[in-house]
Structure 1
């Protein structure tokens, strides 16, 4: 069974979707700048998420449902 892919239009929306516990894959559907990309990588990859390039966007995938530290 293929996991559903949700789409986020900004960093906060992506984090909300990932923290929800219902979503394992989030497409970053905006022009992600380098600072934002490294912020996402720092917040999520340290907790086990993977980021991959898919066409013109990135997809964050969670293996489990870790919740990164709150800022």
Structure 2
């Protein structure tokens, strides 16, 4: 059985990016009402670099695998 790692919750786009860039967390829950423009911006910035976004309950979770950190904004 696969063990789930805990999620760290971000409360806005900037906080999500900072957490993901930190290298300390692999799973970030988007803990705010993500608008479509923000969602596509996150997908463009992170999924192109190999991250995965999944819907869990009422929020999205970005999961990082072992890869280089995307460009800094």
TM-score (norm 1): 0.92
Q: How many residues in Structure 1 have an aligned counterpart in Structure 2?
A: 71
- The separation in 2 between residues aligned to 1:10 and 1:56, in whole angstroms, is 16
Q: What secondary structure, in the 3-state scheme, does the structure 2 residue paired with 1:64 have?
A: coil
CA RMSD for the aligned pairs? 1.1
Q: Which runs of 5+ in 2 are unaligned?
A: none
Deviates more, 1:32-41 or 1:56-65: 56-65
TM-score (norm 2): 0.90
- The separation in 2 between residues aligned to 1:28 and 1:10, in whole angstroms, is 7
Q: What secondary structure, in the 3-state scheme, does the structure 1 residue paired with 2:8 have?
A: strand
1:32-47 correspondence to structure 2 within 5 Å: 32-47=34-49
Q: Which runs of 5+ in 1 are unaligned?
A: none
- The separation in 1 between residues aligned to 2:67 and 2:33, in whole angstroms, is 25
- The separation in 1 between residues aligned to 2:19 and 2:52, in whole angstroms, is 15
